[in-house]
Structure 1
Amino acid sequence: MSIGCLCIHGYTGSPEEVQPLVDFLEARTEWEIANPTLPGHGEDLDLEGHYYQEWIAAAELALLDLMKRHDEVYIVGFSMGGMIAAYLTAKYRVDRLVLLSAAGKYVSLPQMAKDVLEMAGDAWNGVLADNDLFRRYQKKMRDTYVFSTIEFMKCVQFTRPYLREVTCPVLIIQGELDGMVPKAAAVYLEEEIPSTEKEVVFLKQSKHLICHGDDKDELFNRVLEFIGSAQQEGVT
């Protein structure tokens, strides 16, 4: 049985956001894994003139390409990519869905306040340049085209109703220290998705960039165990 897996990164992000998980899966499986760059995204952002429909279409084309060659296809979506993944899962026959920090709801104000205070403390101590969170988001804030944030919100609003049409097994993973997507988002996803087989995992030491967090090994193993169980079911 041949297997394809589509990974979809988040808003203002790049494939690097999920690449550690891709590397982990490629080292342990024979799956074909697609990890495309959404239009206007990547290490050098160029979001002006791009719309959320393009982001969805790019992921959809990558999915259709995998479906041509494989018996089973899985989707892993991070942040905004999680919402696109849910939409595509509802639209096509996808066997398993993994949602990582999926932006069904966004901005956790309490955790964001903690992150800001942490960065302020590092700035006071003269070590702000060493703060990983600051370094990751400084470039994004500088390069993000302001009207693209509206496109991000439109993307979430468009895809959100399709959560109720997802029926395949779903794994939802959320970092408890996520300052961009609140912990309540995972609960919301669990309530909205009607799948009979679904699991929610909270990672205690992870912030938004969950594939790069302190709990990444637990995340990788959870994803492999969840998706791998589909193959075991197919054999029995």
Structure 2
Amino acid sequence: MKLQRRLVEPFHFPGNRVGCLLIHGFSGSPSEMRLLGEGLAKFGWTVLGILLSGHGTTPEEMAKKGWEDWARDAEGGVRKLRESCNTVVGIGLSMGGLLTLHLATLGLIDGLISMNAPMVLADRRTRFARLVRPFIKFVGKSTSDQAALESKSQPITERFVYDRIPVDGLVSLNRGIRQVRSKLHLINCPALLMQSRKDFTVNPSSVQIIRKKIEQVNPEVIYWENSGHILTLGPEREEVTLKVHDFLRQSAAKGVL
């Protein structure tokens, strides 16, 4: 229980006046972002890793929450960082990346880094979540050969994640994707977009959809050849941390952060 509490607990590492808001993915927890957060803290950045509503507990609790709750959580994280930081950069994985894009469409953050943010989900069955909702409340995580391959691309790392997903949550996620996608043209802050080649949760075409929608800010796009969906815990995680740090450092040096 003590280990589980640590995996799901939010974290805050005080540093300089640039705040990094770290947002985990759908059905995940801050454990997905902690290694990245610890790495950024060593470089002196202020780091806040939040826990999204309904996560870190049970799938039943997650079923009671939705996109609007998760968006409010992300917006609250920005407000928290603004208490001590002049600048806030959103850094999100998967749905966390989607929430980071959401924050940028509202003009709430000064820079964004999205990692495997969904515009198109790889499993086509997720598109029919609304149709099956009256009959099925939860679905199990995929056990396909692709999912197995993805897991092999990641070292054994402690992570708390649900093994069942509430169908209501999938319906809400799909709604969030549509909403954010329709507003991407409003983004005007520096952006770094990351995508894993071995991502079998989010269709890798998602990153190019985002890039084209926010071409007004000339985003940098980086593909990771050997990582699965959970990029922050994969075999290239140390290089990912360095790329995030470089983006922050170079943006600050240019005066855009």
Q: TM-score scaled by structure 1? A: 0.83
Residue 46 (structure 2) pairs with residue 18 (structure 1): no
Structure with the largest fraction of helix: 1
Distance 1:58 1:234 in 2: 28
Partner of 1:218: 239
1:151-210 per-residue CA deviation (whole Å, 9 max, x = no partner) reads 111121222222111111111111000000111111111111133331111110011000
Q: Is the 8 A contact 2:154 2:235 kept in 1?
A: no
Q: Distance in 1 between matches of 2:62 and 2:103?
A: 22
8 Å contact kept, 1:102–1:186: yes
CA change 1:119–1:52 in 2 (3 A) is closer
Tell whether the 8 Å contact from 2:153 to 2:228 is kept in structure 1 after alignment.
Answer: no
Cα 1:139/1:226, change in 2 over 3 Å: closer
User: Partner letter of residue 79 of structure 1?
Assistant: S
CA spacing shift, 1:155–1:90, aligned 2, 3 Å? same
Call closer, same or farther: CA 1:138–1:25 in 2, change over 3 Å: closer
Q: Which amino acid aligns with 1:202?
A: Y
Q: In the alignment, residue 215 of structure 1 is paired with which amino acid?
A: E
The normalised TM-score by structure 2 is 0.77
C-alpha displacement of 1:139: 6.3
| 1:75-126 residue CA offsets vs partner (Å, 9 max, x unmatched) | 10111111111111121242211010111221167xxxxx8236789xxxxx
| Structure 2 residue 228 is matched with structure 1 residue 207 | yes
Cα RMSD (Å): 3.0
Query: Residues 59-85 of structure 1: CA distance to partner in whole angstroms, max 9, x if unpaired?
Result: 101112212322111110111111111
The 3-state SS of whatever aligns with 1:107 is: coil
Look up the equivalent residue of 2:193 and give its one-letter code.
I
Aligned partner (choices 76, 98, 105) of residue 83 of structure 1: 98
More off after superposition, 165-174 vs 42-51: 42-51
Kindly report which structure 2 residues correspond to 1:1-236, keeping only aligned pairs within 5 A, or say none.
2-29=17-44, 31-42=45-56, 44-45=58-59, 46-107=61-122, 116-117=144-145, 140-142=162-164, 144-234=165-255
Q: Residue type matched to 1:50 in 2?
A: K
Q: What fraction of aligned residue pairs are identical, expressed as a percent?
A: 24
Contact 2:28 2:160 in 1 (8 A): no
Please tell me the residue identity of whatever aligns with 1:51: G
**CA pair 201-118 structure 1, distance change in 2 beyond 3 A:** closer
Task: Look up the SS of the partner of 1:172 in the other structure.
Answer: strand
Residues 63 and 169 in structure 2, CA contact (< 8 A), matched pair in contact too? yes
**For 1:35, what is the secondary structure of its paired residue?**
strand
Partner amino acid for 2:144? V
**CA–CA distance in structure 1, aligned partners of residues 205 and 121 of structure 2:** 9
Equivalent-residue separation in structure 2 for 1:71 and 1:168 (angstroms): 15
Cα distance 1:163–1:136, how it changes in 2: closer, same or farther (>3 A)? farther
Residue pair 1:17, 1:212 contacting (<8 A) in 2 also = yes
- TM-aligned CA distance change 1:11 to 1:136, over 3 Å: farther
Count of aligned residue pairs for this structure pair: 221
